[in-house]
A = this chain, B = another copy of it.
Amino acid sequence: MSKGTRTRQHIIARAATVFNTQGFAGTSMADLTRQTGIEKGGIYNHFPSKEALALAAFDYAVTLISQRMQEVMAQEERAIDRLYAITNVFRSVIDAPLVPGGCPLMNTAIEADDTSSALRERAQETMSSWLRLIGGTVKQGIANGELRPDTDPRMVATIMVAALEGAIMLSKLYDDSLYIHRAVEHLIEYLQSLAS
With contact pairs A159-B182, A163-B159, A170-B158 given, residues A110 and B120 touching in the complex (Cβ less than 8 Å): no
Q: Does A33 contact B (CB under 8 A)?
A: no
* C-alpha spacing A178/B159, complex, angstroms: 12
Cβ of A166 within 8 Å of any chain B Cβ, yes or no, is yes
Q: When the two chains form the complex, which single residue of B21, B120, B123, B166 contacts A164, counting CB atoms closer than 8 Å? A: B166
Question: What is the bound-complex CA distance between A128 and B161, given in angstroms?
Answer: 23
Q: How large is the interface on A (under 10, 10 to 19, 20 to 34, 35 or more residues)?
A: 35 or more
Q: Hey, which chain B residues are within 8 Å of A23, CB to CB?
A: 23, 25-26, 111
Establish whether residues A158 and B183, one from each chain, have CB atoms under 8 Å apart when the complex forms: yes
A87 within 8 A of B: no
- For residue A2, give the distance in angstroms from its CB to the closest CB of chain B: 34
- Residue numbers in B under 8 Å from A169 (CB-CB): 106, 109-110, 113, 162, 165-166
Q: Which residues of B contact A36 (CB under 8 A)?
A: none
Chain B residue numbers with a CB within 8 Å of A21 are: 114
Contact B25 A173 (CB under 8 A): no
A101, A123, A164, A179 interface centre (most CB from chain B within 10 Å): A179
Shortest Cβ distance from A154 into B: residue? B182
Residue A140 CB within 8 A of the other chain: no
| Interchain residue pairs with CB less than 8 A apart (5) | A23-B111, A102-B113, A162-B165, A162-B167, A193-B193
What 8 pairs across the A-B complex have the smallest Cβ distances? A162-B166, A166-B166, A25-B26, A162-B167, A21-B114, A113-B172, A25-B25, A165-B166
